[in-house]
């Protein structure tokens, strides 16, 4: 396992995610103002659109088929498998 770089559009914020760390945990560790509330994939505050890269979830996978079709990523529960480009209109550095 290795670190992966995450870029969030349109702001261009970038940060590293270490192995075993969720996208949300890494963003918060880097001081990024990343929206979240429940940390359980229910409130959808942290959901981003996945523009490139791949992620995985620990079972049970929280993502419904419609979410997969729309490329929605639950950042509180998602672990990157590669470098990622995400889209979220409210994330700033």
pLDDT higher than 90, residue 77 = yes
Closest CA to 84 of 55, 45, 62, 47: 55
- Structural domains in the chain? 4-87 (3.10.20.30)
Q: What share of the chain is helix, strand, coil (3-state, %, to 5)?
A: 15, 30, 55
**pLDDT-based confidence at residue 91 (cuts at 50, 70, 90):** confident
Digit-coded pLDDT (tens) for 29-62: 999 999 999 888 888 899 999 999 999 999 887 7
Instruction: Report CA torsion sign: 9, 66, 53, 75.
Output: positive
What is the greatest pairwise CA distance in the chain?
32
The C-alpha atoms of residue 49 and residue 54 are separated, in whole angstroms, by: 12
């Amino acid at each position: 396992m290795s670190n992966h770089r995450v870029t969030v559009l349109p702001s261009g914020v970038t940060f590293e995610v270490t192995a075993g760390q969720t996208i949300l945990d890494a963003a918060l560790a880097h001081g990024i103002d990343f929206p979240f509330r429940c940390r359980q994939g229910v409130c959808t505050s942290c959901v981003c659109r996945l523009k490139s890269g791949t992620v995985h979830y620990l079972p049970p996978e929280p993502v419904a088929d419609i979410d997969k079709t729309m490329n929605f990523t639950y950042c509180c529960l998602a672990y990157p498998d590669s470098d990622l480009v995400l889209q979220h209109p409210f994330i700033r550095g």
